[in-house]
Amino acid sequence: MVIAIIAILAALIFPVFSAAKEAAKVDTCLSNNRQLAIGMLTYADDNDGRFVQTKRSVNDPATADRDGSAEEPDYGPAWPRVFPQNSGIYRQQPSIFTCPTDPDPFGEQCAEVSPDAPPLNSSLINAYFAFGLNQSSLRQPSSTIMLAERNSSTPYCDYLYRPWYNADNSQAPEDEMDDTVGAIATERHSGRGLYAFADGHVKTMEFSQTYGPNVNMHQP
């Protein structure tokens, strides 16, 4: 009888503990991405409003890089410049560069399938911000996505995602906005993705709330 009662209590309590553990992981991911977003904004404030630039300056990346022709030169990963004081912990865990629910935060799979892949982590920078974008060009920072989470299951092997590489662009090398096998981890958090916005706030959202026929929060 006692054993049966214990089994019933365990069946009731364990799901609660599991849910609490998952919620704590999501909170950590939110906190880490908030720190990354603040780092991006602080860098811009210290550089006359210009976000950390990893590609050459172009006025409209969606046109200039429509077919991938504006990818070179590449000035190297952004995060060591955004957080120079933390560059030494870039591949140490725990750190702000990882999400606990990411099965491959540093892209070990990419090292196997794409040996030339740049240093990776759980986050992706919206490539609009990498081509010389200035804060003054942002019309609605609070509804413009600056960071997303990398799809490490496919795996996606870059530190940037390009919103103009989509199904409507016949010249795109690949469809990075596909909600299943694209660049972004769109369902990592109970069917939702995690996004950091250009005003510094972070939240989870369904991908269809950020990108679709009638909405595009990925374009400044």
For residue 140, what pLDDT is reported?
Answer: 96
- Give the dihedral sign, CA 18/21/23/25: negative
Contact 161, 152 (CB under 8 A): no
Q: Which residues touch 133 (CB under 8 Å, ≥6 apart)?
A: 50, 51, 220
pLDDT-based confidence at residue 113 (cuts at 50, 70, 90) = confident
pLDDT-based confidence at residue 116 (cuts at 50, 70, 90) = confident
Is pLDDT of 59 > 60?
yes
Is pLDDT of 10 > 60?
no
* Mean per-residue pLDDT, 102-111: 91
For residue 11, what pLDDT is reported?
Answer: 60
| Structure-model confidence comparison of residues 134 and 19, the more confident one | 134
Nearest to 139 by CA among 87, 84, 61, 199: 199
Count of structural domains within the chain: 1
Instruction: Supply 51's token pair.
Output: 């976000």
* Mean per-residue pLDDT, 153-176: 96
Contact 177, 183 (CB under 8 A): yes
What domain range is 57 assigned to? 2-216
